[in-house]
Structure 1
Amino acid sequence: METLKIVKIGGHVLNDEGALDAFLNDFSQIASPKILVHGGGKLATALAKQMNIEVQMNDGRRITNAETLDIITMVYSGKINTTIVAKLQAKSTNAMGFSGADGNSIVAEKRPVKDINYGYVGDIKKVNTTHLQLLLNHGITPVFCAITHDANGQLLNTNADTVASELAIAFAETYMTELYYCFEKNGVLKDINQDDSVIETIDTKNYQQLLKENIIADGMLPKLTNCFHAIDHHVKKVHIGTSAMLLNKNITHTIIQK
């Protein structure tokens, strides 16, 4: 069975032109079929502040009102997605930009209000792989932003880590899927101020201990939740670290396993 790599790029890399170029160089050299997923929360937050729109977060997840959704749509599917596609074309990777609405790729539903009203945030219900498979068969690399739709005309903000995880799960029936979360750190760190304090393996047992010790918190919480969700649904491997790990498995990074 062929390997498919689903790679998610983090916000700090998107904000740094040099880091983005280095990442895209590494990504473009992946020989196997691949899909790229990106967010852009930091750029969206910066634009919101310029427009005096309040930014609200809860446990690393953005609360999305109508104004925030407009900003996210402009930033994610506009500037960032198109720029990444153009840069990949320059690196001989034939890429095509997607939101979940394009080709009905990712259908979600608006998150129900419980303790917190997240607004226009989508929880993924279905990933349609048929047309994406056709693109992969023809050597085209899909590039997804973190926007889905509800099949009734409403766009929804969806966590990019979740988009990557659900894509990997959806393709697990036809590929050996490997999920990569690339960001500016070498992996999940014991000490956020020490780049060499990488936790090389996280499994179900030590994950609970890391939570108790508050080593894993804030924005890393939803990321690890998505990692274990993927592993529980037949994704072969999940890796967290810099883009160097994409090409060199000996590079120190974090591996998530059962």
Structure 2
Amino acid sequence: MTHITIDGARVAYTEAGAGPRAIVFVHGGFGSSSGLWASTMAALPPGWRGYAINNFVESDPPPDGYTIPAFAQRLDGFIAALGLPSAVICGHSMGGVVCQQTAITYPGRVAGLALVATGPSIRNHGIALQVLADLEAGGATRQNLDAISRHWFAHIPDQAQFDAYVDTATRAPLDGMLAAQRSLVATDLEPLLPRIACPTLVLHGARDHGRTMDHAERLLAGISGARLALFETSGHAPMWEAPAAFQAALAEFLARIGDAA
């Protein structure tokens, strides 16, 4: 784990790959971390370097608190602190909302946008309020976070990997997880989506019962030129449930951005 200081806060991240082009990965809520992206970063195409931020584990809170705008400001500052003129940003679930906010608020930093199992708001998100209530009631115990995390999968492909993911989630601050989820519930970026002008890929699992296809369709309708990569057997975590197809779709997207640069 490496650390960098952004707006006076210590931020942890991991990195992999090598090359002149950069992609920054942003995890979701409920104690998620950079470990979500380990296999994706290991499979990056030549010429690309990947960075995955930790917003909960081993990082200080953003100065303005655990909110979507504060995470977007952190992402903008992270790209600047690395000395990058711009980067592709890739976000999962809540992290996808952070990436949308970043592309809207700091467009000069964003060379491309990959949105994984996310949407512009939580409308028609059947379990968003339920899992927030579960976290409020049960706290950050391992048993509770295990139960919450199981919602993200149509099937768990690797139990050891899942167990390690949950173990890491128990290290996240409960107040931070709750504040982030409440901010997510309060966020609606759909009216602002037409401001996003960078190349955009929407990666979505057909069996995601929280972020349903309605969420992907609203992104595609709101962002000009956005394309869809659909994973028929995957739930909320296509980077784990359909890794080969996910990595191929992301690599094709990165190649298009590289060719256009």
TM range (shorter): 0.3 to 0.5
The TM-score normalised by the length of structure 2 is 0.34
- Judging by fraction of residues, say which structure has more helix: 2
1 or 2 for the larger relative contact order (CA 8 Å, sep ≥6)? 1
The TM-score normalised by the length of structure 1 is 0.34
Larger radius of gyration: 1
